[in-house]
């Protein structure tokens, strides 16, 4: 049974909608309105007629029929009866935000089993319970929090609301943008594999970022991830990699983290990109989302900061990056066009006296050679006009810009690149990991 309407409903009911701004039942209605949801919104609450200027229905039975998605934010014990109302209404997809299920206690576990049984019987697909909902920026379905509306190629699937919020917040701030977000919760029915299958076929999704704790159905996950990875990059951060971390996973989502080594080798085999930290997950996805795909791993570092160049070189030890020698014919041209203090090696060190022009000359000259498949451009200290140069060259070449040591001028140049949706990185080592994953 497809889960397309989970992301693309023409109408959504919020069961447990509230007039109290502190309640999630209010926040979700508000976010749907503020994200300009394209379909109809039906708040459901027997105690009021109107929420945020929208007509409020006393029950799902009484809301317009064939509502395509129900978001449920009511106490756990009432969820089974709401699911029965879903059936009456003909709702086929439900997001159960409410907690108090298997993550909580034995009774909650039984309740979750009951909910799943009813849902299966009624033909309703369920996200959650104990989840943080869905966001689809293309139709304004922000059935989650916080409010994120900036459209972009990054889609997020996580077992942690905060990690999804962190990724979305950064992507919004840096003008990268989000396609879809799903925060899985207890995965009673819909799991990461179902979402991955959907995202694999979603034209707006350019890269899938996953934060996973336990993967209960390993084979189903690997199958979905493998298929998706044929279409677009899939990047995974795994929580519970270590023994202590695995114990914490057990407390958090009652999942079994499994042996990381096994997970790791299985993922690598299927072409899935693994990362080691939240910072890396974000930066790698940001790079993939916005940088052109290079023809290979042959990389030249062009830098105005010798030290940053060295840190970049140190970072490639465990990566597949191939730091090539400068093409022989390029050296003569570089000699002719660059000031004599420049160091004509890889890293190509334009030194502290670099200008936008010397960067431009270097990039132009090196770009002529087929062997040069990727350039990491490290701008150390602010350089006036560098943003325009990078913008001009960026369209046609795989350039990875790293800006460090900025003052106000540098921040302005960085801002210009962000406005043009060109990603900028701030740590040379991270930039090399990005280069490696493109």
Tell me which residues in 262-281 interact with a second copy (CB under 8 A): 276-279
CB atoms within 10 A of CB 295: 12
Instruction: Report if residue 319 touches a second copy, rule: CB under 8 A.
Output: no
In angstroms and rounded to an integer, the radius of gyration of the C-alpha atoms of the chain is 25
Identify the residue among 85, 155, 299, 308 touching a second copy (CB under 8 A). 308
Instruction: Report if residue 175 touches a second copy, rule: CB under 8 A.
Output: no
CB of 380 to a second copy, least distance (A): 3
Our CB check for a second copy shows the closer of 67 and 303 to be 303
Instruction: Report if residue 313 touches a second copy, rule: CB under 8 A.
Output: yes
CB of 325 to a second copy, least distance (A): 11
Total site size for a second copy, rule CB under 8 A: 71
Tell me which residues in 32-51 interact with a second copy (CB under 8 A): none
Residue 124's nearest CA partner among 86, 96, 169 is 86
Our CB check for a second copy shows the closer of 204 and 213 to be 213
The tally of CA atoms less than 13 A away on the side-chain side of residue 35 is: 30
Stretch that binds a second copy, among 79-87, 118-126, 198-206, 240-248 (CB under 8 A): 240-248
The tally of CA atoms less than 13 A away on the side-chain side of residue 417 is: 28
DSSP 252-283: HHS-----HHHHHHHHHHTTPEEESSHHHHHH
Separation of first and last alpha carbons in the chain: 34
Instruction: Report if residue 331 touches a second copy, rule: CB under 8 A.
Output: no
CB of 239 to a second copy, least distance (A): 4
Stretch that binds a second copy, among 4-12, 162-170, 326-334, 368-376 (CB under 8 A): 162-170
Stretch that binds a second copy, among 4-12, 77-85, 286-294, 306-314 (CB under 8 A): 306-314
Per-residue burial over 58-87, b if 16 or more Cβ lie within 10 Å, else e, is ebbeebeeebbbbbbbbebeebeebbebbb
Tell me which residues in 407-426 interact with a second copy (CB under 8 A): 407, 410, 426
Identify the residue among 73, 134, 163, 289 touching a second copy (CB under 8 A). 163
- Give Cα separations from 274 to 73, 271, 284, 396 (angstroms): 34, 9, 10, 28
Assign 286 to helix, strand or coil: helix
Distance CA 212, CA 294 (A): 28
Contact 368, 330 (CB under 8 A): yes
Assign 229 to helix, strand or coil: helix
Contact 147, 37 (CB under 8 A): no
Tell me which residues in 342-361 interact with a second copy (CB under 8 A): 343, 345, 347, 349, 351-353
Contact track, a second copy, 202-231, x by CB under 8 A: ---------x-x------------------
CB of 178 to a second copy, least distance (A): 13
Our CB check for a second copy shows the closer of 82 and 249 to be 249
Instruction: Report if residue 20 touches a second copy, rule: CB under 8 A.
Output: no
Identify the residue among 21, 53, 244, 396 touching a second copy (CB under 8 A). 244
Our CB check for a second copy shows the closer of 205 and 305 to be 305
Identify the residue among 166, 200, 236, 300 touching a second copy (CB under 8 A). 166
Instruction: Report if residue 128 touches a second copy, rule: CB under 8 A.
Output: no
Q: Any bridge partners for residue 404, and if so which? A: 380
Count the helix, strand and coil residues of the chain and give each as a percent rounded to the nearest 5: 40, 20, 40
């Amino acid at each position: 049974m497809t889960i397309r309407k989970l992301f693309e409903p023409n109408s959504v009911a919020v069961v447990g909608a509230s007039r109290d701004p502190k309640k999630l039942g209010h926040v979700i209605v508000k976010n749907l309105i503020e994200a300009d949801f394209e379909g109809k919104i039906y708040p459901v609450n027997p105690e009021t007629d109107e929420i945020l200027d929208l007509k409020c229905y006393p029950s799902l039975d009484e809301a317009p029929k064939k509502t395509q998605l129900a978001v449920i934010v009511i106490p756990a014990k009432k969820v089974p009866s709401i699911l029965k109302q879903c059936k009456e209404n003909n709702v086929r997809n439900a997001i159960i935000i409410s907690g108090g299920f298997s993550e909580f206690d034995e009774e909650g576990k039984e309740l979750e089993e009951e909910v799943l049984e009813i849902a299966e019987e009624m033909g309703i697909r369920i996200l959650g319970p104990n989840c943080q909902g869905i966001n689809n920026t293309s139709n304004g379905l922000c059935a989650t929090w916080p409010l994120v509306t900036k459209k972009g190629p990054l889609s997020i699937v996580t077992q942690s609301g905060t990690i999804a919020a962190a990724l979305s917040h950064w992507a919004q701030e840096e003008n990268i943008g989000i396609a879809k977000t799903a925060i899985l919760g207890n995965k009673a029915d819909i799991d990461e594999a179902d979402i991955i299958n959907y995202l694999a076929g979603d034209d707006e999704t350019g890269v899938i970022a996953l934060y996973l704790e336990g993967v209960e159905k390993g084979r189903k996950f690997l199958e979905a991830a493998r298929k998706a990875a044929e279409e677009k990059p899939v990047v995974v951060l795994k929580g519970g990699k270590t023994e202590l971390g695995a114990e914490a996973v057990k407390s958090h989502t009652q999942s079994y983290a499994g042996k990381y080594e096994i997970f790791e080798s299985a993922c690598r085999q299927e072409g899935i990109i693994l990362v080691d930290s939240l910072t890396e997950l974000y930066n790698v996805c940001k790079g993939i989302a916005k940088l052109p795909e290079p023809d290979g791993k042959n990389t030249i570092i062009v830098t105005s900061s010798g030290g940053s160049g060295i840190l970049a070189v140190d970072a490639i030890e465990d990566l597949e990056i191939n730091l090539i020698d400068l093409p022989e014919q390029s050296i003569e041209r570089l000699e002719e066009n660059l000031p004599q203090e420049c160091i004509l090696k890889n890293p190509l060190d334009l030194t502290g006296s670099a200008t936008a022009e010397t960067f431009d000359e270097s990039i132009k000259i090196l770009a002529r050679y087929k062997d040069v498949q990727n350039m990491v451009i490290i701008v150390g200290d602010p350089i006036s006009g560098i943003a325009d140069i990078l913008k001009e060259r960026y369209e046609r070449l795989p350039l990875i810009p790293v800006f460090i040591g900025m003052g106000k001028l540098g921040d302005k140049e960085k801002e210009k690149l962000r406005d043009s949706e060109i990603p900028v990185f701030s740590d040379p080592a991270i930039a090399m990991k990005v280069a490696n994953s493109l």
